[in-house]
Amino acid sequence: MNRATQGVYPPASTVKPYVAVSALSAGVITRNTSLFDPGWWQLPGSEKRYRDWKKWGHGHLNITKSLEESADTFFYQVAYDMGIDRLSEWMGKFGYGHYTGIDLAEERSGNMPTREWKQKRFKKTVVSGRYDSGGHRPGLLDGNADSDE
């Protein structure tokens, strides 16, 4: 397998500018939206805390500062507020989950999780219709699905 053209990897922090543009365009946030980052984000209704790379947190953040400092927790919350359906649609507009269109015979398209994909993959129904990991690894965690395991 050619990992450069066939490997499918989570986008990590490279997805943050796209989440920002999507959320701004969809009216989920404004350039003045401010969130406080204590160094972690907790999925509503869950005990699990998702840590930021900066363990002590970034403090008060707006969209500009969150991009400058690559603040994970800001984007966890913004992607959660976007919801799985809206974020999936917006990310598709940026090419996530699609082929690049360049001449690579062995290229893989990757995956942009949708509500249907998540239900099929994890055999769970998405209850909140929201991403649970903020765009770093969208849909790979299952904290927002029902718990009938």
Tell me what pLDDT residue 143 has.
32
Listed in sequence order, the DSSP H helices in the chain are 3-6, 16-26, 63-68, 72-82, 84-93, 115-122
Assigned domain for 127 exists: no
Q: Place 126 in a pLDDT band, splitting at 50, 70 and 90.
A: low
Set 13, 34, 46, 128: catalytic member: 13
- What CATH number has the domain bearing residue 52? 3.40.710.10
Please give the residue range of the domain that contains residue 55.
11-122
For residue 42, give Cα distances in angstroms to 48, 51, 60, 135.
6, 9, 17, 14
In a domain, 6, yes or no: no
Q: Model pTM?
A: 0.76
> Do residues 145 and 29 make contact, with C-beta atoms less than 8 angstroms apart?
no
**pLDDT at residue 133 tops 50:** no
pLDDT category of residue 68 using cuts at 50, 70 and 90: very high
Q: Domains in the chain: how many in total? A: 1
In a domain? residue 136 = no
Residue 7 has pLDDT above 90, yes or no: no
Considering the domain boundaries, does residue 56 fall inside one?
A: yes
The answer to whether residue 71 is domain-embedded is yes
Question: Is 13 one of the catalytic residues?
Answer: yes
Q: Tell whether 47 is covered by a domain.
A: yes
Is residue 134 within 8 Å of residue 20, measured between CB atoms? Answer: no
**Residue 4 domain-assigned?**
no
| Lowest model confidence (mean pLDDT) among 9-18, 50-59, 66-75 | 9-18
β-sheet bridge partners, residue 51 = 40
Q: Decide if 76 is inside a domain.
A: yes
pLDDT tens sequence across 32-51: 999 999 999 998 888 989 99
pLDDT, tens digit (0-9, with 9 covering 90-100), for 71-119: 999 999 999 999 888 998 998 898 888 878 888 778 777 777 777 777 7
